[in-house]
Structure 1
Amino acid sequence: MKYCFVFGTRPEVIKVAPVYKFFIEKNEEAFIVATAQHREMMDTMMNVFGIEAKYDLNVMTHDQTLDSVVASIMQRLPPILQRERPDILFVQGDTTTAMSCAICAFHSKVQVAHIEAGLRSHDLYDPFPEEMNRRVIDVVSTYLFAPTEKARDNLIKEGIAEDRIYTVGNTVVDALKMITNSFDLPQMRSRIVPFERYILLTLHRRENIGERMVSILSAVAKFAEERNIHVVLPVHKNPNVRRIVFDTVGSNPHFKLIEPVDYVSFLALLEGCWFVVTDSGGVQEEAPSFGKFVVVARRTTERPELIESGFGILAGTEENSIHEAMVSASETKLDTAENPFGDGKTSERIWRIVRGVSQ
């Protein structure tokens, strides 16, 4: 059996690398195709995990559009699939890379394995284009690796055959265990922030750019001023995000605006924060591993397990609702809450399933 693993963004590397490395440890024939949808951030994460791509599609361009990414991948990946003839192509999540590569594999009659299948917000345009991407991937996949029972239920309700669906947990927990065992997070954190108590804030979601983002920032600023607490905000590279952030809170003394940090440094910040406010999907999964409460600054979430487990609140994007959610977060205790996203053994489960190895 030959296995192809594809990724093109930082979150994909984080969640694919543990699976790929487990396959390599088992002496499987496996190789990586990197699309470089996000060049710099992808390369940085590959270095963290010590992995290399056999093929690099190098699709990233200045001011790239979704259509240009799709077109480039669909031109460059098929010749590789024809040359290598893998038995299974692994994609992760809901990126444009994952969707485009899954379609290419389908066209080449290569089986698709979807890591993190079944997530749904049930709103095709929120998040955009991720909700459409993951639905398309699940339709063409032979192996659907659902991270939770709720994700599995979503797939069954859509009519996908149950014998294609496997509940395995989320590979992000595998990745976090690998990283926390390899790096001194408190020491790294001390190099970034000079204070011990702070709120961590991340904003980047496309549908939040504009008035929604201004409202979120205003709510966080109000809470920070009331509680006299610092807010650490790694400012996303998107120029539209940067403009809003600097215009809204650039001169606020409670905010420490920093450039985007590498993933390990971000985990150091996450480990040490009071709680986190974010519109990120990945952070919703990472925070429970560190016992941190999440204020989800979005109108929908495809990770309802976070809310149901008591680790987070879906706050919307209005200033009042964000502020109220932060007040609730400040009063929440998580001493007995269990991580809803897994136990760090997802990579092994995936390998056993595709190889037909019993527990």
Structure 2
Amino acid sequence: MGLKEQKKFKIAFIAGTRPEIIKTAPVYLALAHHQDFEPVFINTGQHQEMSHMFLSLFNIIPDYDLNIMKHGQSLSFLTASILQELETVLQSVNPNWILVQGDTTSAFCGALSAFYQKIPVGHIEAGLRTGDIYSPFPEEMNRILVGRMSAFHFAPTHKAKDNLLKEGIPPHKIVVTGNTVVDALHWIQSQDKCLTPSEINRFLLSNPDQRLVLITAHRRENWEGGIANIAEAISRLANRFPEIIFVFSVHPNPVVRDQIYAILSNKTNVFLHDPLDYIDFIKVLSRSELAISDSGGVQEEAPSLGIPVIITRTATERPEILGTGLGYLAGTDQEAIIQIATELLTQKKKKEAKNIFGDGFSSQRIVQALLFSLSRSKTKPDDYYC
């Protein structure tokens, strides 16, 4: 039987948050263009308001849309809902492999549901650790548990691989791929796509020399006090640097949104914006002098563009960024945020972009690893070295 006549391997992606979609999209697209694979996309809808926006950006139509989000739901309710819906879907799809990304509840439930049905799991962005199961919460425990259920681990860096080896994962089940977010960045930059006709983009086009700072905040462990502290720090920085526009991409969760608007809505040089689509977000980030964020993705995207980022968390599972001049841990302490931001905003020399997290070929390494695991190739991909 010729290669083209062989049965295609069905690979199911389980994702539902903004960062998951961004980081799985390049792998999905790579598999969709490969003769050996039939990718199936299952959208849990964990970020229902944003998931379709980002899926459409990458021209992905989900095969299944669980639409499980309910207002004010608890983690327990979310977990139970995803597991219940996935059981039926996976029995119908019957995939050869399941791919999950990162550390979300969707990733954890995807891996657990696959385990229940004895389907092998590939973990994209495996091995990230802070060493504190409550920071970030619940993501640190999610990724540990996903790791225990995974058959193959696609580690973004060698530090992540070392973490997996320390936990007893066999070396032959790990490949260092780099992070697929860099693939997504390269894909976005290669597309002939226009910015949305939003107020922020009209402003960018008419003010090409305007100084900018980009801010995001959403972490659950920052909800009680931390989000307010971040907003207060931005308020004080806006007073100190009236010539700078502080663009705050505001998460739709009311717990986050209400605190930010209460503190910053009257600041003339603070632009509060609904979540930016990915093209717009990268455009603003690339134009910024500084990012202030508790997001894991921004820690990867910013250095790839040469933008320093103040990390508003007490620990990071991406320690590679620290000490490069592009990443600074500040927690949610107002004084620390203001001090670091002031130092960076008064420096004249622009930072250089660094390939800390990838070279844009992570998806191809994952495809090669899947071919190797499925015995369609005798060659395991070489580890990525930056």
TM-score clears 0.5: yes
The residue that corresponds to 1:231 in the other structure is 246
Q: 2:278 aligns with which of 251, 257, 263?
A: 263
Q: Which runs of 5+ in 1 are unaligned?
A: none
Q: Which runs of 5+ in 2 are unaligned?
A: 1-8, 382-386
Q: 1:3 aligns with which of 7, 11, 19?
A: 11
1:335, distance to aligned residue in structure 2 (A): 4.3
Q: Does the 8 A contact of 1:310 with 1:337 survive in 2?
A: no
The residue that corresponds to 1:340 in the other structure is 356
The residue that corresponds to 1:350 in the other structure is 366
3-state SS, counterpart of residue 15 of structure 1: helix
What are the Cα deviations for residues 119-138 of structure 1, in whole angstroms up to 9, with x where unaligned? 11111111111011000000
| Percent identity of equivalent pairs | 42
1:17 aligns with 2:25: yes
3-state SS, counterpart of residue 89 of structure 1: strand
1:49 aligns with 2:65: no
The residue that corresponds to 2:233 in the other structure is 219
One-letter amino acid of the structure 2 residue matched with residue 203 of structure 1: A
Tell me, in whole angstroms, the C-alpha distance in 2 between the residues paired with 1:255 and 1:38. 25
3-state SS, counterpart of residue 77 of structure 2: helix
1:261, distance to aligned residue in structure 2 (A): 1.9
1:215, distance to aligned residue in structure 2 (A): 2.2
The residue that corresponds to 2:313 in the other structure is 298
3-state SS, counterpart of residue 191 of structure 1: helix
Tell me, in whole angstroms, the C-alpha distance in 2 between the residues paired with 1:239 and 1:201. 17
What are the Cα deviations for residues 271-303 of structure 1, in whole angstroms up to 9, with x where unaligned? 111111111111111112221110111111111
Sort the Cα spacing of 1:15 and 1:258 in 2 relative to 1 into closer, same or farther, 3 A: same
Q: Does the 8 A contact of 2:201 with 2:280 survive in 1?
A: no
Tell me, in whole angstroms, the C-alpha distance in 1 between the residues paired with 2:190 and 2:237. 34
One-letter amino acid of the structure 1 residue matched with residue 17 of structure 2: T
> Pairwise mapping of residues 63-82 of structure 1 onto structure 2 (< 5 A)?
63-82=72-91
What are the Cα deviations for residues 56-106 of structure 1, in whole angstroms up to 9, with x where unaligned? 222112222211221112112123322332121000010100000100101
The residue that corresponds to 2:110 in the other structure is 101
Q: Does the 8 A contact of 1:309 with 1:337 survive in 2?
A: no
1:44, distance to aligned residue in structure 2 (A): 0.7
Report how many aligned residue pairs link the two structures. 359
What are the Cα deviations for residues 155-193 of structure 1, in whole angstroms up to 9, with x where unaligned? 111122111111000000111111111146789764254
1:131 aligns with 2:145: no
One-letter amino acid of the structure 1 residue matched with residue 32 of structure 2: I
3-state SS, counterpart of residue 203 of structure 1: coil
333-342 or 158-167, which deviates more: 333-342
Tell me, in whole angstroms, the C-alpha distance in 1 between the residues paired with 2:65 and 2:261. 35
Instruction: Name the Cα RMSD after superposition.
Output: 1.9
57-66 or 103-112, which deviates more: 57-66
Sort the Cα spacing of 1:337 and 1:10 in 2 relative to 1 into closer, same or farther, 3 A: closer
Sort the Cα spacing of 1:291 and 1:183 in 2 relative to 1 into closer, same or farther, 3 A: farther
TM-score (norm 1): 0.95
> Pairwise mapping of residues 96-245 of structure 1 onto structure 2 (< 5 A)?
96-183=105-192, 190-193=201-204, 195=207, 196-228=210-242, 229-245=244-260
Tell me, in whole angstroms, the C-alpha distance in 1 between the residues paired with 2:39 and 2:288. 38
Tell me, in whole angstroms, the C-alpha distance in 2 between the residues paired with 1:101 and 1:68. 15
3-state SS, counterpart of residue 322 of structure 2: helix
Tell me, in whole angstroms, the C-alpha distance in 2 between the residues paired with 1:318 and 1:332. 25
One-letter amino acid of the structure 2 residue matched with residue 58 of structure 1: N
1:62 aligns with 2:77: no
Q: Does the 8 A contact of 1:210 with 1:244 survive in 2?
A: no
Tell me, in whole angstroms, the C-alpha distance in 2 between the residues paired with 1:266 and 1:316. 23
Tell me, in whole angstroms, the C-alpha distance in 2 between the residues paired with 1:216 and 1:32. 36
Q: 1:275 aligns with which of 290, 293, 301?
A: 290
One-letter amino acid of the structure 2 residue matched with residue 250 of structure 1: S
Sort the Cα spacing of 1:323 and 1:345 in 2 relative to 1 into closer, same or farther, 3 A: same
3-state SS, counterpart of residue 137 of structure 1: helix
Tell me, in whole angstroms, the C-alpha distance in 1 between the residues paired with 2:203 and 2:220. 27
Q: Does the 8 A contact of 1:295 with 1:329 survive in 2?
A: no
Sort the Cα spacing of 1:165 and 1:334 in 2 relative to 1 into closer, same or farther, 3 A: farther
The residue that corresponds to 2:3 in the other structure is none
Tell me, in whole angstroms, the C-alpha distance in 1 between the residues paired with 2:46 and 2:179. 23
The residue that corresponds to 2:6 in the other structure is none
TM-score (norm 2): 0.88
One-letter amino acid of the structure 1 residue matched with residue 52 of structure 2: D
Tell me, in whole angstroms, the C-alpha distance in 2 between the residues paired with 1:102 and 1:218. 39
1:329 aligns with 2:344: yes
One-letter amino acid of the structure 2 residue matched with residue 314 of structure 1: L
Q: Does the 8 A contact of 2:307 with 2:351 survive in 1?
A: no
Sort the Cα spacing of 1:57 and 1:306 in 2 relative to 1 into closer, same or farther, 3 A: same
Tell me, in whole angstroms, the C-alpha distance in 2 between the residues paired with 1:320 and 1:120. 27
